[in-house]
Structure 1
């Protein structure tokens, strides 16, 4: 069924600071690991319409251990038979591909402000069910190195005496401020500074709930405090593939839940780590199911197209 099939993953060059970009590169790698030909096509981020592409041999554009060959010329793509995977920042079909997969890495339109109008011929894939409940398939992937996660004992020995404020995508949904008495956590800091801050912080006040920063905070023993739930509901926040322990701002002010019960927080932290291990161990199965379902979807479209001609 997969003989001759090729996937083209459209994505920016690799960026350790972007969870969405990391997922797209890992998807390409996972497809190749599953025995299906897959290549990257890099977006040129200088074009904010996300309709331009680029080629590069710069090593920083790739994950050092992923199998992610790159398209160097659009002439290499067979737009009639290759399956093109677009991330949710791309609204249209700039490549005029006949087989389009929309990989929704966030809720439709939240990143760009311009929702995608799905075509009936598009195969819709959602990273989390809450992003696109009516998707054809859900494909949650993570490649976090769980061997690097600090032990529970090591966390309990840390002197956690600071708090952090993280804005992230929260600035898209309203005014944000640094919470008084906290240090700003932003991507101007080096990765070393980022980890040091999380290791020494007990609370992360976050304006952005759907971010890998929340997961990083939890595994380093830092309790997320949701300052604003916008643009999500708490039902959606609680329905994520990985259930995240957190405090609302009201719970923090009232000294509830994990505020005085750090052991309870660490228990939930242990659970999320275990859940992550389980998801990683089953990722190959989900990738293979994605391959099968997407190919079957487009094959059926071709058959139906022949019947109606």
Structure 2
């Protein structure tokens, strides 16, 4: 058997995550910034590289807009509580550098040889996608995977229980609130069309927590948003408007955090299930927070095996 080159034992990777500016309301963006922080916390070398704007299907920005964006780039805020330094151009040319792209980035615009593609949402659902040859894939959850392309990507997630959300046990909850996001194709239900119903889109987490503590029920047309879980933590009944799956079982199979505390649909049996399993959801969220670091450790091991040991 051929011996592995021992000169590689001391080598390490430099990770560069191509991410949008930090946005506390974007779960995918939070994950990308948290990945850089977690890698640095674990003793690896990781940086952010600002991602160019990406537009949904059907939207077009002409050459003049792109030219102005190039010469007057938008600000790139980061979370000051995280260890997320920005990469320099020299870092892109370093040996053993790895670029991590979300699924919405087309191709390999940075031009780094070693590419990791992190599937934060199902490719093609909201944006077109274009992968390159020999990419390494990871996924946030099963629903985001394309196993016919990836062969079954391993998990990589960084869930954290947002401490802004809490049940303040206020008396006299009444009314409803909702969010649409990736559920924009679904027909609206009457409960979200009433004049007093509150759309939480665009509110800060503190403002959403206040709404959740005032309302009886939160309806989400988006079947994968963390706001469904945040509502439960805040003591608000949480209902997902169904449509993408035939049943709760099918939905929960690809959305692990949907097993407990959330009604998949408006039936009395679903709402009873949500009510009786609230505590189990909160326990699961705490477990997933603890397990997140383990997925990052496995990410490190797998990427080193791929990009160093097989070099």
Q: TM-score range by the shorter chain?
A: 0.7 to 0.9
Aligned to 1:67: 83
- Provide, for residues 107-132 of structure 1, a one-character-per-residue CA deviation record: whole Å limited to 9, x for no partner: 121221x144463x111000112321
Task: Report what 1:306 is aligned to.
Answer: none
From 236, 244, 250, the counterpart of 1:222: 236
Partner deviation per Cα, 1:52-83 (whole Å, 9 max, x = no partner): 9899896x711121100012x43431266211
Structure 2 vs 1, CA of residues 127 and 53 (structure 1 numbering), >3 Å: closer, same or farther? Answer: farther
Taking the aligned partners of 2:159 and 2:71, their CA distance within structure 1 comes to 26
Counterparts in 2 of 1:191 and 1:2: CA distance versus 1, 3 Å: farther
Partner of 1:160: 173
* Match for residue 122 of structure 1 among 103, 128, 135: 135
Match of 2:216, SS state, is strand
Contact (CA 8 Å) 1:226, 1:247: kept in 2 or not?
yes
Query: Which residue number in structure 1 is paired with residue 122 of structure 2?
Result: 107
Deviations along 1:242-278, whole A, 9 cap, x unmatched? 2343334440xxx4443xx5xx645422212211222
Query: d(CA) in 1 for partners of 2:215 and 2:239?
Result: 12
Q: Which of 100, 107, 113 is matched with 1:98 structurally? A: 113
Q: Say if 1:17 and 1:187, in contact at 8 Å, map to a contact too.
A: no
TM-score norm. by structure 1 comes to: 0.80
Equivalent in the alignment of 1:15: 23
Inter-partner Cα distance in structure 2 for 1:291 and 1:126:
14
State the Cα RMSD in Å: 3.1
SS of the counterpart of 1:205?
Answer: strand
Distance 1:190 1:278 in 2: 26
Give structure 2 stretches of 5+ with no counterpart: 1-8
Alignment correspondent of 1:273: 282
Distance 2:281 2:295 in 1: 19
Q: Report the CA distance between 1:198 and its aligned residue.
A: 1.1
Correspondence for 2:102: 87
Q: Structure 1 108/236 Cα, relative in aligned 2: closer, same or farther at 3 Å?
A: farther
Describe the shift of the 1:235–1:265 C-alpha distance in structure 2 as closer, same or farther (beyond 3 A). closer
Contact persistence 2:107–2:130 (CA under 8 A):
yes
For residues 129-144 of structure 1, the aligned pairs below 5 Å read 129-132=142-145, 133=147, 134-144=151-161
Q: How far did residue 25 of structure 1 move?
A: 0.3
TM-score of the superposed pair, with normalisation by structure 2: 0.80
Q: Matched residues in 1 for 2:228 and 2:106: separation?
A: 28
1:205 is the counterpart of 2:219: yes
Gap regions ≥5 residues in structure 1: 303-309
Q: 1:228 to 1:145 in 2, by over 3 A?
A: closer
- Provide the C-alpha distance between the structure 1 equivalents of 2:10 and 2:197, rounded to a whole number of angstroms: 51
1:91: Cα distance to partner? 2.5
* Alpha carbons 1:158, 1:199 under 8 Å: kept: no
Of 10, 13, 27, 1:5 maps to 13
Contact 2:241 2:264 in 1 (8 A): yes
User: 1:10 deviation in Å?
Assistant: 0.6
How many corresponding residue pairs? 286
